Structure 1
Amino acid sequence: MKNNLFFRILGQYEYKILHKRILFTMLILLIYITGSNIDIVSQEKINRHEDSFYKLAVSNMGGDIHSLNIFSLGLGPWLTAMILLMLLRYRNLDKAMKQTRKEKHYQEKLLTLAFCIVQGYFVINQSIVKEHIKEVNIALLILVVVTGAMLLVWLADQNVRYGIAGPMPIVLLSIIRSIFNQRLPELHVHTVILVTIIVLIAIALLILLLIELVEYRLNYRDIMHVTETRTQSYLAWKLNPAGSISIMISLSMFILLNSFIGLMMGVFIGTSSDSGILSFANVEGITFYLIMQIILGYLLSRLLINTKQKTKDFLKSGNYFENIYPGRETEAFLNQKARRVCWTGAMIVGLIIGIPLYCTLFVPQLSQQIYFAIQLIILVYISMNIAETIRTYLYFDKYQQFLTKYW
């Protein structure tokens, strides 16, 4: 009787698409948790040095190098490969649109595989104690972590099709695990400093919430409602269209570049270690990362806005902006507005991430707490993006009968 009542309530609200996708995502997360707990190297051979931002950054892409396991590389190589190919395809959208889904996936997976090998070699050499490095089969370990990374990529790709928010739930769970694994040292600071840090974190979270909710609107004339003076049509853009994915991709590219330099040092010098320049322990490394974050955030936002396609849509529909001619003039107008919006959003996100990173140089005794705060900010940001995806599916479920009738 209770089961019948449960299914009756479930059927009444008709959240069929949403609850199926949630169940599929939960299955993906279960597989991810299982694989993350399968160590491929004993804990005695793993470096026990103090946690660095490198470890925290890897966890922000679904990886875990606190222990060397199947999914240690995470989704970083895939995210890097995907954004590089997207930016290359943006140069010639007409040619990219002619490519089949199979061709695009083949290119992504091939480039991801190359990135996995580079990062896998670097992570293994960094994670295993030097005294035990000769006791392990490095080629076999690389094969395992690369296979695990490709499996995780396949799971994330399946979650894009049948689950919720693609790779974001995996990254969200990875950050939560990393937060609980951290052992923060005891604070010996003045109460005023502690209160100031908490207030700054709250302000950063509030700003992230605002840039997710605030829209930049461009009013235009809709020829279908030209006689209705009360109806106002507008083109809406978020201040940061790239969302949290820009942070994950910038961290991924920074780590991959660091891994590549470490690999080259291992080949030519004989020692594989973190690059002194590309490190969060100095001003140069932080500045380089922030520049990369801002540029990638801008490019990804422009890619998602896609002013070229919007200009074509306006030509087809006949809609127009007042005092702006269709075609090239409309495209120039949209590009000008898009540059303003995308640079603003990218700079705001860069400041929110950059100020805490620079603080670790001036207050090194609080570095672990500041890294924790950065992870908390990213965690909330990703949660907001996932919540927005869920609202989209709820909206579809609400009008499912109407949409399926004509779609």
Structure 2
Amino acid sequence: MLGIKKNRKHIFIRKVLWSGLILIIYMFGRNIPLPFTNYDDIFQSSKQSFLLILSGGATGANLSQIALFSLGLGPWMSAMIIWQLLVMIKRFNLDKLNKKEADFYKSLMTLVIAVIEALGMLTGFSLTEKTFFVLSSLVIIMSGGTFFLVWLANMNSEFGIGGSVLIVFFGMIGSMEETFVRVFKPTWGNLSYPLLLVAGILLLAVFIIVISIIFEKSEYRIKINRILVNNSLGNQVYLPIKLNPCGAIAVMFGLSILMVPNYIIQLLTGVFPSNNILYWLSQHIGLSSYFGVSLYVVTLFGLSFIFGSINVDAERIAENFRNSGDYINGYRPGRSTRDYLQTYVNQLSLIGALFSSLIAGVPLYVGVVYPSYSAVLMMPGFLMMTVGMMLTVEEQVKAIKILHNYKEIFE
């Protein structure tokens, strides 16, 4: 028994050390400035667009400067969303590809999105010169940084704890810290009741965290009959469906996919500066306008349904039931079971979508009215993401404990 505990402790230390090393590399690359950039001009312009910087932080990006990891995991996250949508359509037979072929097409989509985002980002920043050589060099370096970051995330999934979640979490924490400093530092001395404000923010944060945990932990249980289980445990078998099937992942991926059209419009505006439609879109597609916030809320609502169906695949579950002989009382195996499960998935996804939109989306409308606090009003969504990430890490830690909690048969 002592040997098992010692081995488990050794595994934890090893995984924590790996994750620590990966985070050090990430933080180092996140602050390596690239050549041909006018850092002072970029720093001044970033002060005016810290809402976009905060949004980028949700993908591990660093938009306050042109650095090696400026794009973060955003292109890869956007590619994963598009890929899942194409798989769900089932018209391109993507679900029949082997892993090597699927990884190739995912990487190709990531590369295309990374190039678009890099070009869009570079058009909005001040460079020492904007020649083809300079732009192409920076695009290659920034795209390479994204792929290196994806590789780091995969290495953390294999050897560390948290996978890509850990990188996104630390990027988000850095952006949140920078935002609070920018918003409250200039006005802190002018506040009449600063401690009361801090207490109010903390109480609101605790409330959001508690509600998020309730939604993450609550589940609807559907009783299952297993013909191969003939004992007292057979009456305790059920299929759990979370109250919020998509979790907080829709918030993170929603910010990621919303940045793609943002960069495309920035790129097109640089090519066609006199186009009134592009100019209007460039001014309103961000989270500082009613149009941009509404677009984000709709995206968030839709992604909640999509990820709910992905996380709880009613068709796959029904097929597994049919193959194993399991069944739900009153429903025949196959289509009837699938439709029954899909009904509950849709209903619970609707609850989760409304919850995510209410917590992460609606406060941003207040930010349009009071722009100076718009970045702070993104914190509820970030707290949702933080809860989801921490619970994911907790589940991985529990899995490691269970995996290494058995005695050896032969000692």
C-alpha separation in 1, matches of 2:143 and 2:254:
21
Q: Given that residues 262 and 285 in structure 2 are in contact (C-alpha distance below 8 angstroms), is that contact kept between their aligned partners in structure 1?
A: yes
* Residue matched to 1:3: none
Question: CA 1:264–1:397 in structure 2 vs 1: closer, same or farther (change >3 Å)?
Answer: same
Question: CA 1:12–1:340 in structure 2 vs 1: closer, same or farther (change >3 Å)?
Answer: same
* Aligned 1:298-337 pairs, distance under 5 A: 298-337=305-344
Aligned partner letter, 2:328 = F
* Aligned 1:310-389 pairs, distance under 5 A: 310-372=317-379, 374-389=381-396
Q: Given that residues 117 and 146 in structure 1 are in contact (C-alpha distance below 8 angstroms), is that contact kept between their aligned partners in structure 2?
A: yes
* Residue matched to 2:39: 43
* Residue matched to 1:5: none
* Residue matched to 2:150: 153
Task: Say if 2:175 is the partner of 1:178.
Answer: yes
Aligned partner letter, 2:282 = S
Select which of 137, 141, 149 maps to 1:140: 137
Q: Given that residues 242 and 301 in structure 1 are in contact (C-alpha distance below 8 angstroms), is that contact kept between their aligned partners in structure 2?
A: yes
Question: CA 1:236–1:203 in structure 2 vs 1: closer, same or farther (change >3 Å)?
Answer: same
Q: Given that residues 220 and 233 in structure 1 are in contact (C-alpha distance below 8 angstroms), is that contact kept between their aligned partners in structure 2?
A: yes
Aligned partner letter, 2:42 = I
* Residue matched to 2:67: 69
* CA apart distance, 1:117: 0.6
Gaps of 5+ in 1: 1-7
Q: Given that residues 65 and 127 in structure 1 are in contact (C-alpha distance below 8 angstroms), is that contact kept between their aligned partners in structure 2?
A: no
* Residue matched to 2:294: 287
* CA apart distance, 1:26: 2.1
Aligned partner letter, 2:39 = Q
Q: Given that residues 356 and 374 in structure 1 are in contact (C-alpha distance below 8 angstroms), is that contact kept between their aligned partners in structure 2?
A: no
Q: Given that residues 282 and 361 in structure 1 are in contact (C-alpha distance below 8 angstroms), is that contact kept between their aligned partners in structure 2?
A: yes
Q: Given that residues 21 and 163 in structure 1 are in contact (C-alpha distance below 8 angstroms), is that contact kept between their aligned partners in structure 2?
A: yes
TM-score by length of 2: 0.86
Q: Given that residues 201 and 377 in structure 1 are in contact (C-alpha distance below 8 angstroms), is that contact kept between their aligned partners in structure 2?
A: no
* Residue matched to 2:85: 87
C-alpha separation in 2, matches of 1:74 and 1:392:
28
Which segment is superposed worse, 229-238 or 195-204?
Answer: 195-204
Q: Given that residues 68 and 142 in structure 2 are in contact (C-alpha distance below 8 angstroms), is that contact kept between their aligned partners in structure 1?
A: yes
* CA apart distance, 1:374: 4.5
C-alpha separation in 2, matches of 1:96 and 1:399:
39
C-alpha separation in 2, matches of 1:277 and 1:300:
27
C-alpha separation in 2, matches of 1:137 and 1:110:
23
- 1:65-99 Cα shifts (integer Å, max 9, x gaps): 11211000000000110121122113339944532
C-alpha separation in 2, matches of 1:178 and 1:68:
15
* Residue matched to 1:247: 251
Aligned partner letter, 1:285 = G
- 1:100-145 Cα shifts (integer Å, max 9, x gaps): 211111011100000011100111222327xx45489222222211
Question: CA 1:167–1:95 in structure 2 vs 1: closer, same or farther (change >3 Å)?
Answer: same
* CA apart distance, 1:243: 2.5
* CA apart distance, 1:148: 1.0
Task: Say if 2:165 is the partner of 1:165.
Answer: no
Q: 1:326 is paired with a residue of what secondary structure?
A: coil
C-alpha separation in 2, matches of 1:377 and 1:322:
36
C-alpha separation in 2, matches of 1:266 and 1:303:
38
* CA apart distance, 1:332: 0.8
* Aligned 1:141-290 pairs, distance under 5 A: 141-182=138-179, 183=181, 184-185=183-184, 186-187=187-188, 197-225=201-229, 228=232, 231-269=235-273, 275-290=282-297
Which segment is superposed worse, 181-190 or 64-73?
Answer: 181-190
* Residue matched to 1:4: none
Q: 2:223 is paired with a residue of what secondary structure?
A: strand
Q: Given that residues 57 and 168 in structure 2 are in contact (C-alpha distance below 8 angstroms), is that contact kept between their aligned partners in structure 1?
A: yes
* CA apart distance, 1:383: 2.3
TM-score by length of 1: 0.87
Seq. identity, %: 26
- 1:271-316 Cα shifts (integer Å, max 9, x gaps): 9977223121221211110110111121012112111110011111
Would you say how many aligned residue pairs link Structure 1 and Structure 2? 395
C-alpha separation in 1, matches of 2:136 and 2:92:
41
* Aligned 1:20-59 pairs, distance under 5 A: 20-40=14-34, 41-48=37-44, 49-59=47-57
